[in-house]
Amino acid sequence: MAESERYEVKAGGSWKQLNPLAMLRYFTGMKGPSGFGASSTARDVVAGGKWEGKGKVAIVTGPYSGIGLAAARELAGRGCEVVLAGRTNAERGKDWVSREIGGEGKLVHQMELDLSSLESVKGFARDFKKTGKDLNILVNNAGIMALPEFRRSKDGHELQWATNHLGHFLLTHLLLDKMKETSRKKGAPQGRIVNVSSSAHYMSYKPKGILDEEELSDPSVYKPWSAYGQAKLSNVLHARELNCRLKEGAKGDDVIAVAVHPGVIVTKLQRHLKVPVLMQSVGKVAVTPFLKSIDQGAATTVYCATAPSIKGGGFYADCNEQGSAPESKRRDLGKKLWAISEKYAKAFY
């Protein structure tokens, strides 16, 4: 495949690579073209955009904490029926859902999903289809970050890549026909697939070649942040390649896919990081100006799920389309990732 083949996306690098205007917007809270900015919350987005969720159905993975929980809460709060797709336990019962989100039994439903197991993903998709529900929005949010030691998923793949990307790749594939069917109903809105990525997608492994299949799950080369970057790059490339394939289809505007960077926030995603107490204190002072609240972190996800018009294949941060790392614009890498992912997931189609 020609390395020169590129996705038609916004020029420039991500704001993490010191885009001056994007950085200015971030620190000042200046609103971008969308009317929202770094200081906007998920509630601002649904209220300001006058989005109405009644009659719509969304699936949110990783819905029990952080931005997944905030996104699910705001979607349900506007009347959208939300399926919480994650690993449940005794503490996450009806009382928890009613307290944290509201609407359990009417608008909010729990379904078991373990993204590190492709068999679990297949089972979830099968069980969801059995409900007969429509599907307007799929938020691929669940993820893990910078595991200190190499670990494998239940199917033998490096755990970050398996959970953050491969499980979502299969889930999206298995639910895509349902999303297309829903979007083609009279008066139905455009279907939205939102991959929660990160500006850290530029940190992927590079020595053997980006997204080298042998390196994907090789414990001898494992580096926590490179593996995380590789998984987040996969999220962006998956959204872009999927969007291209949808666009090239018979009715390409029925469903679109995008990737988002939620911002720098403190959630359970960082639970694996080992930082000395003194550095935690110093770091808190130094890092606080860069941090968003969880509700601010969920804003871009909710914006991309609900805004009247967004660009398919785009990379969004602070509720506006942003530039992204050069590797994320290469369609040869998107096709390469697709082929590898399909190779591992096809047995579960």
pLDDT value, residue 4: 67
pLDDT of residue 209: 80
In the chain, which residues have pLDDT < 70? 1-4, 14-23, 25-26, 250-252, 267-290
Catalytically active residues are 222
How wide is the angle at C-alpha 263 spanned by C-alphas 109 and 159, nearest 5°?
65
C-beta of residue 208 within 8 angstroms of C-beta of residue 182: no
d(CA 186, CA 188): 6
Write the pLDDT tens digit of every residue in 80-92: 999 999 998 888 8
21, part of any domain: no
Burial (0-12, 13-18, 19+ Cβ within 10 Å), 76: buried
- Residue 123: Cβ within 10 Å count: 16
Q: Which amino acid is at 201?
A: H
Any domain includes 313: yes
* Helices marked H in the chain: 20-28, 42-48, 66-77, 94-100, 118-130, 159-161, 167-183, 213-216, 224-247, 277-287, 294-297, 299-306, 331-345
Write the CATH number for 101: 3.40.50.720
Contact by Cβ (8 Å): 243, 256:
yes
The pLDDT of residue 281 is: 46
Q: Are 315 and 190 in contact (CB under 8 A)?
A: no
| Residue 102 domain-assigned (yes or no) | yes
Q: Which amino acid is at 148?
A: P
The CA distances from residue 12 to 134, 229, 234, 272, in Å, are: 37, 18, 19, 32
Evaluate whether residue 27 is within a structural domain: no
123: in domain: yes
Residue 53, domain member (yes or no):
yes
Residue 85 bridge partners (DSSP): 61, 111
Tokens of 31: 């609103």
Whole-prediction pTM: 0.91
How far is Cα 303 from Cα 311, in angstroms, rounded to an integer? 12
The per-residue pLDDT for 270 is: 45
Domain assignment present for residue 101? The answer is yes
Q: Domain of residue 203: give its range.
A: 35-348
Q: Which DSSP category does 221 fall into?
A: G
pLDDT digits (tens, 9 = 90+) for 284-319: 444 445 689 999 999 999 999 999 999 999 999 999
Residues 6+ apart with CB under 8 A from 175: 59, 125, 128, 129, 135, 138
Number of domains into which the chain is organized: 1
How many Cα atoms sit within 13 Å of 8 on the Cβ side?
5
332 lies in some domain: yes
